[in-house]
Structure 1
Amino acid sequence: MDATQQDATARARELQRSWYGEPLGALFRRLIDDLGLNQARLASVLGLSAPMLSQLMSGQRAKIGNPAVVQRVQALQELSSQVADGRVSAAEAAVRMEEIKKTAGGSVLNTQATASTGAPTVRRVVREIQSLLRSVAAAGDIIDAAESLTATHPELAEFLRVYGAGRTADAVAHYEAHQS
């Protein structure tokens, strides 16, 4: 890989970090490990071709262009966390992955709830807020907007920075801190 390709790959991964909270290669590898998938199966569940998944993972492509695929990624992240916590068995995860595969996507702020409580999980709510913000503006534009609001509306500026350009873990902590 020459220097130009390396620069393009580094830029793509940085964009992925700003849009999705981390490079897609790391995110997809975690899903593969946690859910016991291979790349072809992950691509199938997401509704991507295997070559497109590979290009996203390697940084040859930066952005997932289909909002329904982004929602499936978010659903798999939630499922992965439930499997890792032991709340969902491998057998149930397989069934849920088939359900996720069949979803065509919908509103970014959908009404899917957890089976046990009927309420959406904090991480899911946060990811939906992030997805909505990132669908209307790039991270740099959100940061610029936040900077312009800092003097007059510091709380709103913080919200934009944390949810629009920050990592999911930081946004979850922010959300939880403001729920009491």
Structure 2
Amino acid sequence: MSVAEDTIARNRALQTEWYGEPLGDRVRPLLGRLGMSQSGLAGVLGLSAPMLSQLMSGQRAKISNPAVLHRLMAVEDLVAAPGFDALTAAEVQARLEEIKAEQAATTSGMRVAPPGRVPAGPAPGSAEGAEDRAAGRGAAEPARLVQALLREVASAAEIEAAAGLIAGRFPDLAEVLRVYGAGRTSEAEAHFARTVLKQTPDDRAAMPVRSRLDSF
């Protein structure tokens, strides 16, 4: 194996540890679902096209800007949402522009989404869509913020190891580490809705969006 091949193999292994799978395997399905070029998606994420290409090919290992990772997760949520196929091309483009405009999470406070930002969901205008967006706003943004923070400071393996150390005495805290540090975004949002917003899967759409964050 050449030096270049060894570097790529090592970087892909690191990406699997940090992001669950190599970034090329995460990004390519998005290009197909969105019908976008690699350059177009790079613009949404806030990367140069060459940088995204290097990350996808394994020439580079880490997404250095947590805002880029956050936007990537937001795009993944968009295409995975049940209502995605019902969206028009213009609606998809509008959602991508909103994701592109999202600001980076910082250690000084919560990231504020642009006005009008709503999570992906059923087709706009439907009663189901209105209810899901009302419920989703309460969980999606803070859940993603916690994910971005944990994944910036530690790898998935490190987070799993930390969770294992405390699981015996503090099982709930260990679950938080595992869900937000190594789980899927949808799992993190569901956990946040259940534990902070006190919503169950059956009543998430019906309950008003309230949380302990309202008191800060």
Whether the aligned pair in 2 keeps the contact of 1:13 and 1:23 (CA below 8 Å) is: yes
TM-score relative to the length of structure 2: 0.66
Q: 1:15 to 1:66 in 2, by over 3 A?
A: same
Is residue 2:125 matched to residue 1:138? no
More helix by proportion, 1 or 2? 1
How many residues of Structure 1 are paired with residues of Structure 2 in the alignment? 178
Deviation, 1:173, is 9.5
- Percentage of matched positions with identical amino acids: 43
Name the counterpart of 1:154.
171
Deviation, 1:177, is 7.9
The CA RMSD measured in Å over matched residues stands at: 3.1
Per-residue Cα deviation, 1:61-86 (whole angstroms, up to 9, x for no partner) = 11111122222212212222248742
Quick one: which of 184, 193, 196 aligns to 1:168?
A: 184
Deviation, 1:113, is 3.7
Is residue 2:62 matched to residue 1:63? yes
> What is the alpha-carbon distance in structure 1 between the residues aligned to residue 189 and residue 47 of structure 2?
31
What's the secondary structure of 2:87's corresponding residue? coil
> What is the alpha-carbon distance in structure 1 between the residues aligned to residue 39 and residue 189 of structure 2?
34
Over alpha carbons, which structure has the higher Rg? 2
The equivalences for 1:1-180 within 5 A come to 2-82=1-81, 85-106=84-105, 110=112, 112-114=117-119, 116=130, 117-120=133-136, 126-164=143-181, 166-168=182-184, 171=187, 175=191, 180=200
Q: 1:11 to 1:92 in 2, by over 3 A?
A: same
> What is the alpha-carbon distance in structure 2 between the residues aligned to residue 61 and residue 126 of structure 1?
27
Q: 1:160 to 1:3 in 2, by over 3 A?
A: farther
Deviation, 1:18, is 3.1
- 5+ residue gaps, structure 2, are 120-128, 201-216
Which amino acid counterpart does residue 39 of structure 1 have in structure 2? Answer: Q
Per-residue Cα deviation, 1:117-151 (whole angstroms, up to 9, x for no partner) = 33336676654432221123222332232122122
Q: Which is further off, 77-86 or 104-113? A: 104-113
Higher relative contact order (CA 8 A, sep 6+): 1
Per-residue Cα deviation, 1:43-66 (whole angstroms, up to 9, x for no partner) = 122221111111100111111111
What's the secondary structure of 2:135's corresponding residue? coil
- 5+ residue gaps, structure 1, are none
Q: Which is further off, 71-80 or 45-54? A: 71-80
Q: 1:15 to 1:125 in 2, by over 3 A?
A: farther
